Amino acid sequence: MDAEYNPLRNLPKMYKFQVMTYLSIMWCIIFSIWTGWMLILGPSIIAHVLILAGLFFTVKTFEDNRITHRDLYKDKDGGVRYDDIWGG
């Protein structure tokens, strides 16, 4: 940072150095935590989306194929035409 435009320019040099050092350490910690969080959060979001997509397609598959063999052999009045499809 340019010393002419630094808001701390009126402070003694030693105190200004300490404050700037603490600020730089603070920002290094903030960005390192943020970077680590993004490295963990990104794969976690992808994993959760994959799990939810798998659940969605599984439920959709079972809902679409809810017809049983008895549904294929119904009388006109809605009753089952055959008691056992294999003739037992």
Q: Using CA of residue 4, residue 8, residue 12, residue 16, what is the dihedral sign? A: negative
pTM score: 0.50
pLDDT, tens digit, 9 for 90 and up, residues 23-40: 999 999 999 999 888 888
pLDDT at 70: 64
pLDDT digit string, tens, across residues 38-55 = 888 888 889 999 999 999
For residues 45-67, give the mean pLDDT.
89
Please choose, from the candidates 31, 28, 26, 21, the residue with its C-alpha nearest in 3D space to the C-alpha of residue 1: 21
Sketch the domain layout of the chain as residue ranges.
13-72
Q: What is the pLDDT of residue 5?
A: 80
- DSSP assignments along 1-42, one per residue: --TTT-TTTTS-HHHHHHHHHHHHHHHHHHHHHHHHHHHHHH
